[in-house]
Structure 1
Amino acid sequence: MQTLSRITPCLWFDQQAQEAATDYVGIFPNSRIRAISHYGEAGREVHGMAAGMVLTVTFELDGQPFTALNGGPAFSFNEAVSFQVMCDTQEEIDFFWDRLGAGGDEMARQCGWLKDRYGVSWQIVPRQLQALLTGRDTARTDRVMEALLKMKKLDIDALVHAAG
C-alpha cells in the first residue's frame, strides 16, 4: 500500500485528470502515475459522474505527490495558486517553459509565470532568483526586479547581469 505525504496538492479538473497527470509525468524526471480510481454507482445522484469514469489519479512529479480529481466543471484554476519549478540552468527554464506552456494561455505569461493548457499556473524560475532578490543592497534588488518585470520567460544571464 502506498503512503501519502502529509500534504499533497489535489488538482480539480473537469474530466482531464488522467490526461493532465500523464502529460505532467512525461515532462518531469523522477515521475510516475501511482494509482487510478474510478467512479462507481454509489453517490451518482450527488456527483453526476458515470460509473467507470476516472475519479482520481495519484501521481508524483519529481518525487512530489499530487492527486488529480475529475470533479466536473464546478471549479476552475486561477492564478491564486501556482507551482514553482526551480531550475538550475537556462536550458531547464527553456525546457519547462516550452513543455508546460504548450497549448496554454499565451496572454498569461509574465515574470516567469505561465498557464498550461489545463489552466494550471506554473512559475518557471531560476533557483538563484531568491538570492538575487534579497539582501541589504536595495539598488541591486531593484535592478533585478526591474529586469524581471520586463520578462515573460526568465533569463538567468540577464537577471545576474542586472544584479551587477
Structure 2
Amino acid sequence: MQKITPCLWFNFNADEALAFYETVFPDFKLLSKSHYGEWGGPNAGKLLTAEFELFGSRFQALNAGPQFPFTEAISLSIRCKGQEEVDHYWDKLTADGGQESMCGWLKDKFGLSWQVVPEELTKLMSDPNKERATRAAQAMMKQKKIVIREIQDAVDTVPA
C-alpha cells in the first residue's frame, strides 16, 4: 500500500471530476467513497471523499468547496510513450474548458494542473551533447503541447 496519498480538494464537483477521469484514464479505479452524514448540513448525503487509482498511484478526492482552489504549485505529471499517447491525454484533459499552458503543462476543466511529458523529451533534453540538449530545451520552450517530431528536428538541425 502506498504510504503517501495526495489529496485533491474539489469545489463540490468531485463526482464530476471522478466521472471525467474515468473517461480519460483507461486504468481508472474507484476504490472507495464516503458521504457527508447528517452533520454535513446542506451537504448531507453528498460525496465527501473518494479514493481512486491512476496507473497504480492512489489519490483522494475531497469534495469541500471553493476555499482552496488548485494552483500550478502542484501538478500531476503523465509520462507518455510516443506522440499518440501525448495527444490522447492532452486532447482529453484540455477538452470542455481545460486550458493549454506552455511546455507540456495544462489545466483540466476543474483547474487541476497536469504535465503531459513524452519519454522522448526526457531523453532529448538529457543528451550528453550539451548543444543538442540545449536545442531540445529551446524547442520545447516554444511549444504548448509537446510535439516530439519538432523537438527531434531541432536537435538534429545544426545551426549555421
The residue type paired with residue 140 of structure 2 is L
Number of residue pairs the alignment of both structures matches: 156
CA distance in 2, matches of 1:66, 1:32: 10
Query: Structure 1 residues 49 and 159 mapped into 2: Cα distance closer, same or farther (>3 Å)?
Result: farther
The residue type paired with residue 17 of structure 1 is A
Q: Which residue of 2 aligns with 1:137?
A: 129
Asked if 2 retains the 8 angstrom alpha-carbon contact of 1:140 and 1:163, the reply is yes
Q: Which residue of 2 aligns with 1:152?
A: 144
Q: CA deviation at 1:32?
A: 1.4
SS in 1 for 2:22: helix
Q: What's the CA shift string for 1:3-33, capped at 9, x where partnerless?
A: x521211100110112101211221122111
> What is the aligned counterpart of 1:91 among 62, 84, 90?
84
Ranges of 4+ aligned residues in structure 1 off by more than 3 Å: none
Percent identity over paired residues: 45
SS in 1 for 2:38: coil
Please report the RMSD computed on the Cα atoms of aligned residues, expressed in angstroms. Answer: 1.6
Alignment of 1:56-135 (within 5 A): 56-106=49-99, 108-135=100-127
CA distance in 2, matches of 1:31, 1:136: 37
Asked if 1 retains the 8 angstrom alpha-carbon contact of 2:101 and 2:107, the reply is yes
Q: What's the CA shift string for 1:125-153, capped at 9, x where partnerless?
A: 10122221124422111101110011111
Note the residue ranges of structure 1 that are not aligned, 5 or more in a row.
none
Asked if 2 retains the 8 angstrom alpha-carbon contact of 1:112 and 1:124, the reply is yes
CA distance in 1, matches of 2:48, 2:42: 9
Q: CA deviation at 1:103?
A: 2.3
Q: What's the CA shift string for 1:32-75, capped at 9, x where partnerless?
A: 11111001133x4xxx6521111011111122211110111110
Asked if 2 retains the 8 angstrom alpha-carbon contact of 1:39 and 1:49, the reply is no
Q: Which residue of 2 aligns with 1:26?
A: 23
Q: CA deviation at 1:104?
A: 3.2
Moved more, 60-69 or 74-83: 60-69
The residue type paired with residue 14 of structure 2 is A
What TM-score does the superposition give when structure 2 sets the normalisation length? 0.90
The residue type paired with residue 50 of structure 1 is N
Asked if 1 retains the 8 angstrom alpha-carbon contact of 2:118 and 2:148, the reply is yes
Asked if 2 retains the 8 angstrom alpha-carbon contact of 1:14 and 1:73, the reply is yes
